A and B are shown apart, each in its own frame.
Chain A
Amino acid sequence: MSTLVSLTNVVKRYKRGKQSVEVLHGVNLAIEQGEFLALMGPSGSGKTTLLNLIAGLDQPTEGEVTVAGERIDQLSGGKLAKWRARHIGFVFQFYNLLPVLTAARNVEVPLLLTNLSSSQRKQNVRAVLELVGLADRATHKPSELSGGQQQRVSIARALVADPTLLVCDEPTGDLDRENAEEILKLLQMLNRDQGKTIIMVTHDPLAADHASRTLHVDKGRLVDSVRSAA
């Protein structure tokens, strides 16, 4: 397997008022193509910051971030946005669907940045909604869907442009155990059957059990790496 994500001596500092707070202290990390990686750690440990850097939502203060062969720490705002559209599918804890759009329209949004025709977009949307088991809910608005269904729509939106990397920030954090289990199985299926590389931030050890590797982050450093049998 080839390395898809590589972080070298990554430092991230935030300015909070007059103070500068270092959140990540020289992190080195390599993630292989096709891996399902869980990032665990207590609140404020820096796991979401790490995820944001890998997803190109934020830039490191120092160090190198290479994803899919591109030094994304060197990309400017516009280029980084284009890069995200091509390579990253993002799943949020609170789904973050656009409330006025139907499930199908929400899933279609990333495709608006492509050159696909309207009919091609609709075809792709239908396929991905079927994949997440929500084809019959295509015309429903988010408020008409359960939490689990909304997260499935969010996953469909993340998948529709066929990204290189699926980035999930506590995707089960707002769900009950049953729905959480369904979402995790869906992610597992996407990793196993579709070969998607997935990075998932979670607090939940049971969720992390579904990943092929779990990394523990504490006080801005990687402290432990466990390979799972899953």
Chain B
Amino acid sequence: MLIWAGLWRKKTRTILTMLSIVVAFLLFGLLQGINQSIKAGLGDSSNNRLWTTSRMSAINSMPISLMDRMRGVKGVLSVAHLSFFGGYFQDAKNAIPAFATDVETLAKVYPELNFTQAQIAAMQSTRPGALIGRPLAKEYGWKVGDKIPLGTSIWTTKDGSNNWAFDIVGVFDPSPQFENSPLGRAFWINYDYWDETRQFDNHRIHQFIVQIDNPSQATVISSAIDKLFENSPDETRSQPENVALQAQLKQFADIDFIANSIVGAVMFTLLFLTANTMMQSVRERIPELAVLKTLGFSGPMVSVLVLTESVMLCLFAAIAGLLLSSIAIKAVGSVIGAGTVPRIVIAYGLLIAVGLAIISGLPPALRAQRLNIVDALADR
């Protein structure tokens, strides 16, 4: 009763402070949620896959013929390949994650994509066919039987056009951990058709995906593959899939650092804001706290009242902020690459909220505890 009353003594101030905390924890939930989802996604990456790209750079192409030699390396179970089509739909801003591949071998190394035998057969019987992920189909409202024109600024057809058209022959449902990944949302096209139709760089691909028998041997097998092409015009760089993904991500941005820096700065500012609010609130209530002490409330009891008030203020607002971030992430999950705010982020968020409340509530709580009744009542 007393805590609730103290909290709502100045409604406007409490609401404004709560709003600040809500926004801070919304930001915390969003940033850490995305960060943790990405980390979790990388953690999920099966270590029994290696990615092999050109040693020069990931966008340099390599001859597809290297695949046969890679298959001979001890520990290699299967090898698939993919190439970046880099297409767009209608407008360049509608980028489509289109890749050229052989869907049958891809299905072996990526069982998580859940290609059905019928879909593989449909691709094999339809040269300009395309197999698309359910998330992408939902986004554009595409369905089997649609002919989709894709533009590209890189690949020209043999007749000199940059306009390509593909027939959707299947919509696949990737496993949940792949729903938000580029591969799970991809627009897969037949490599053979693409390679025969394009004007240049023929018989070359951008990346091999190597399935190995023992994840603990990933480094050894990577070295063995790279050694095969050492000192050749097509030197390779092989690494476990999750290591490659992390490296790719860091090239784009160090999400971990950015997320932690922003959240750190926001929380630091919030600490001062909350501490100021609590100090002001206690300052205004000194006569009231003195009355409570007069009535028999001990110093520690009054300080616990103030501290609990601070915890409630921060905790309620933090819960609201984290709840909003969960809703926001769910709403835009497919765009930002995260589905939910992980439980660990929520747990950390609540811990931070309690820590924030205790740090900001402690000075006014101690002041309230030490309050001299006679001086406070005499307004000294």
Binding site for B on A (CB under 8 A): 52, 55, 57-58, 77-78, 81-82, 84-86, 88, 90, 92, 96, 98-101, 105, 108-110, 112-113, 157
Compute how far the CA of A84 lies from the CA of B297 in the bound complex, rounded to whole angstroms.
Answer: 9
Residues of A within 8 A of B288 (CB): 96, 98-99
Chain B interface SS verdict (over half)? helix
Contact A81 to B374, CB < 8 A, known contacts A92-B291, A105-B1, A112-B1: no
Docked-complex contact A84 and B5, CB < 8 angstroms: no
Within 8 A of A (CB), among B267-298: 287-288, 291-298
Nearest-neighbor residue (CB-CB) of B287 within chain A: A96
Compute how far the CA of A163 lies from the CA of B300 in the bound complex, rounded to whole angstroms.
Answer: 23
Known A96-B291, A105-B1, A112-B2; further 10 A-B contacts with Cβ < 8 A: A58-B374, A90-B295, A92-B377, A96-B288, A98-B2, A99-B288, A100-B8, A112-B1, A113-B296, A157-B295
Query: Residue B361 at the A interface, CB < 8 A?
Result: no
B14 nearest CB across to chain A (Å): 11
Bin chain B's interface residue count: 20 to 34
What string of 1s and 0s marks CB contacts (under 8 Å) between B250-264 and chain A? Answer: 000000000000000
Chain A interface SS verdict (over half)? helix
Residues of B within 8 A of A78 (CB): 298-300
Compute how far the CA of A62 lies from the CA of B297 in the bound complex, rounded to whole angstroms.
Answer: 26
Residues of B within 8 A of A100 (CB): 5-6, 8-9
Contact A52 to B297, CB < 8 A, known contacts A92-B291, A98-B5, A101-B5: no
Residues of A within 8 A of B8 (CB): 100
Docked-complex contact B300 and A98, CB < 8 angstroms: no
Residues of B within 8 A of A101 (CB): 1, 5
Which of A96, A99, A109 lies in contact with B9, CB distance below 8 A? A99
Query: Residue B42 at the A interface, CB < 8 A?
Result: no
B12 nearest CB across to chain A (Å): 14
Query: Residue B319 at the A interface, CB < 8 A?
Result: no
Which of B1, B2, B296 lies in contact with A81, CB distance below 8 A? B296
Please name 30 pairs of A and B residues whose Cβ atoms are closer than 8 Å in the assembled complex, sorted by A: A55-B294, A58-B374, A78-B298, A81-B296, A81-B297, A81-B298, A81-B299, A82-B296, A84-B294, A85-B297, A88-B296, A90-B294, A90-B295, A92-B291, A92-B377, A96-B287, A96-B291, A98-B288, A98-B291, A100-B6, A100-B8, A101-B1, A101-B5, A105-B5, A108-B1, A109-B2, A110-B295, A112-B1, A113-B296, A113-B297
Contact A57 to B374, CB < 8 A, known contacts A98-B291, A99-B9: yes
Query: Residue B327 at the A interface, CB < 8 A?
Result: no
Residues of A within 8 A of B324 (CB): none
Most chain A CB within 10 A, of B1, B291, B293, B300, is at B291
Query: Residue B122 at the A interface, CB < 8 A?
Result: no
Which of B5, B298, B374, B377 lies in contact with A77, CB distance below 8 A? B298
A149 nearest CB across to chain B (Å): 18
B266 nearest CB across to chain A (Å): 31
Contact A82 to B298, CB < 8 A, known contacts A105-B1, A112-B2: yes
Nearest-neighbor residue (CB-CB) of A79 within chain B: B298
Query: Residue B373 at the A interface, CB < 8 A?
Result: yes
Most chain A CB within 10 A, of B8, B292, B295, B300, is at B295
Compute how far the CA of A77 lies from the CA of B293 in the bound complex, rounded to whole angstroms.
Answer: 10
Residues of A within 8 A of B297 (CB): 81, 85, 113
Within 8 A of A (CB), among B288-337: 288, 291-301
Residues of A within 8 A of B1 (CB): 101, 105, 108, 112
Compute how far the CA of A207 lies from the CA of B254 in the bound complex, rounded to whole angstroms.
Answer: 77
Nearest-neighbor residue (CB-CB) of B4 within chain A: A100
